[in-house]
Structure 1
Amino acid sequence: MDGKWKSYAGLVAVAAIWGANFGVSRNAMETFDPALFVFLRFGLAVPCFFLLLKWKEGSVGLPPKVMLQLAAIGLVGVTGLEIAVMYSIKYTTLANASLLNVAPWPIFAALFAPLFVKESFTRRLAVGGAAAIVGVTFIILGGKEGLDLSSGHMVGNLLALGVSAVGALFNLSCMPLMKRYSPLRVSAWFILFGALFMIPITLGSWGKVDWSGLGAGHYAAVAYNVIVCTVAAFIVWNASMFKIGAARANFFRYVVPATAVIAGLLFFDESISGWQIVGAVCMAAGLVWISTEKKREPAPALTRMETTEGAAP
């Protein structure tokens, strides 16, 4: 398996992990306040990131100017984004939130990409992306809730749409930094800052948890979120996204709702409709179409001798 296919496989695996986490987290929310659970996920991941960074690269530091950049990225992309996701779910239906949080994200990434990186938006990417969008729409709207655009859900809908736009900018803002520093180093620092900014939000939640009554399932849910969904997933996603480009990588987020539907079937005995199956096939076809595009090789640069020979005396 060459590097390109390893990157695509990594994106699919991470998206599947995040999708399965819907079922794991839904159970955990019965015990933990959502903000506290998110803080535990990212806060406990911080020492894991820095120990791994020290072991693999021998140092953990960054210039102060870069730290400030990553503090802003952590504030917006971790703290702000996670809070917005929670409130979008609170103020609209789960179907609305799922669709608006996920479907427009790759579109915004493709539109904003020229501001951060040099990525071409090819015809194959447009066709495959369109098929994937149709597929993920069928997956989400094929459930029982459907789409509800009534005025009562307008705040939640706008928040969910904002998550897609801000999330795309969050991904893209990391790309220039990952050209200078490793994805592991960039991830470690923005997650550190994101966790720190979450602390004030959780102050009223600690006393609401019956810590002595926590069982093995609660600890397993936290461990899964910390080690698998955050440490391993962020490292693999950012490294894969850096190799194949943010615009292409973000279309693979559509695997998240597909896996969440399967998790609902396994954990909560939820049904899968025919439209969701059709959507999954359509989405998979679009992603395969995107991933099989051959990378265009740049024209070979002239050597110094060739340039000299072709020049006028």
Structure 2
Amino acid sequence: MKSNSFFYIGLMFVSIIWGANFGISRWAMDVFSAEIFVFLRFGLAVPLLFLLLYKLEGSIKVDRRDLVKLAIIGFVGVTILEILVMYSIKFTTLANASLLNVAPWPIFVALFAPLFTKETLTKRIVVGGAIAFVGVSLIILGGGEGFDLSSQYMLGNVLALLVSLLGALFNLACMPLMQKYSAMRVTTWYVLFGSVLLIPFTIGGWSDVDWSGLTLPIYSAIFYNVILCTIAAFVVWNMSMKRVGATKSNFFRYVVPAAAAITGAMFFGEAIKLTQIIGAFIIMFGLVWIGMERKKLENDQPSSNMKVAN
């Protein structure tokens, strides 16, 4: 049986890409509304995904009865989730949104995983996840804003928590389909449906775009979002999640705030505090602790996870 190290590296790679995008997307958001930019990110990825799928697998077909499932997954995971992320940031503080968008997500996955998969919540995952949770809290809250439960932020806080819940269900809903199709095929089809269903939210916004104001950094941000954040990241994430399981995989989302903080320091001169550095090391320790479970299972039960790995 092949080692899962490659897939853990893939999860880390994707989380870094998504984290860095918090800073990189700022360049494009000066020209595009959030709805338009999200549509460009996913819409431009669709033909490339289908072309890549056909080149790699020789076919793009899925069973007609699965189209409805893929449409629902795309609507929840792309259309609704991306809009909720936007408005959660709008109606609460960045610290609140970051913590509630990211921290509960893996916990919801762990709680609901038995409804979609045969995964079990082990002591090692619980301990490693708890350690990583402490680390991500230090990174987000260590930036100086603190967590604010004022009533004025309640709507944004609820929306941010809803992002975690729907995001977890979105990830888990992909798992049964990825036992039937490749991660590439599932990703391609739900991105298609999610993009099409985003169109109504962009109506009226295109006329406000200053196309003459597009600069090299903005084109670079679009390229980064389409090629890396969507095509590469979604495919690699789903492949890795299929192999190591949804519960373990989603704890790697805790790398996202660390990558975002580093990007902010590199491109926008934002300070990184000692608390955040300590948090990053704590996250890494927790994730390594979770990842070590696979080696133990390989030694003790060599065939225990074959079903997840096919």
TM-score under structure 1 normalisation? 0.94
Whether the 8 Å CA contact 2:27–2:217 is kept in 1: the answer is no
- Structure 1 residue corresponding to 2:297, chosen from 280, 288, 295: 295
* 1:216 alignment counterpart: 216
- Summarize deviations over 1:52-97 as a string: whole Å, max 9, x none: 0100111111111101100011011110000000000000000000
Determine the structure 1 residue equivalent to 2:200: 200
Give 1:5's aligned residue: 5
- Give, in angstroms, the shift of residue 243 of structure 1: 0.2
List runs of 5+ in structure 1 lacking aligned partners. Answer: 302-313
Alignment of 1:88-127 (within 5 A): 88-127=88-127
**Offset of 1:214 from its aligned partner?**
1.1
Q: 1:210 to 1:180 in 2, by over 3 A?
A: same
For 1:306, the equivalent position in structure 2 comes to: none
Query: Which residue identity does 1:295 align to in structure 2?
Result: L
CA distance, structure 1, for counterparts of residue 263 and residue 283 of structure 2: 18
Separation in 1 of the partners of 2:301 and 2:2?
19
Equivalent position of 2:144 in the other structure = 144
1:308 aligns with: none
| Equivalent residue number for residue 307 of structure 1 | none
Deviation sequence 1:73-129 (CA, Å, 0-9, x none)? 101111000000000000000000000000000000000000000011111111100
Distance change (3 Å), C-alpha of 1:58 and 1:300? closer
Unaligned 5+ segments in structure 2 are 305-310
Question: 1:100, 1:204 → 2: CA distance?
Answer: 31
- Return the alpha-carbon distance in structure 2 between the equivalents of residues 16 and 224 of structure 1: 13
Partners in 1 of 2:91 and 2:303 — Cα distance?
A: 54
SS in 1 for 2:272: coil
How far is the alpha carbon of 1:212 from its aligned partner?
Answer: 2.4
1:1-313 maps to which residues of 2 (within 5 A)? 2-293=2-293, 294-295=296-297, 298=301
Shift in Å at residue 245 of structure 1? 0.2
* Most deviating of 288-297 and 157-166: 288-297
CA change 1:300–1:188 in 2 (3 A) is closer
Residue 3 of structure 1: CA displacement?
3.5
Displacement of 1:45 in angstroms is 0.2
Larger radius of gyration: 1
Which residue identity is paired with 1:96? Answer: N
Question: Corresponding residue for 2:308?
Answer: none
Distance in 1 (alpha carbons) for counterparts of 2:261 and 2:211: 31
Mark the CA change 1:176 to 1:277 in structure 2 (over 3 Å): closer, same or farther. Answer: same
Paired residues in the alignment total: 301
1:300–1:131 Cα change, 3 Å: closer
Deviation of 1:264 after TM superposition, in Å, equals 0.7
CA distance in 2, matches of 1:3, 1:210: 49
The structural deviation recorded for 1:263 is: 0.6
CA spacing shift, 1:299–1:243, aligned 2, 3 Å: closer
Output the amino acid matched with 1:282: I
CA deviations 1:207-239 (Å, max 9, x no partner) are 111112312221111011000110001110000
**CA deviation profile, 1:149-174 (whole Å, cap 9, x unmatched):** 10000000000001001100000000
Tell me whether 61-70 or 10-19 shows the greater mean CA deviation: 61-70
Distance in 2 (CA, whole Å) between partners of 1:250 and 1:203 is 34
1:298 deviation in Å? 4.8
Shift of 1:300: 7.7
CA distance in 1, matches of 2:174, 2:244: 14
Q: Kindly, what percent of the aligned residue pairs are identical?
A: 60
Residues of 2 paired with 1:225 and 1:278: CA distance? 29
Contact 2:31 2:213 in 1 (8 A): no
Q: Report the RMSD for the aligned CA atoms in angstroms.
A: 1.5
Give how far 1:271 is off: 0.6
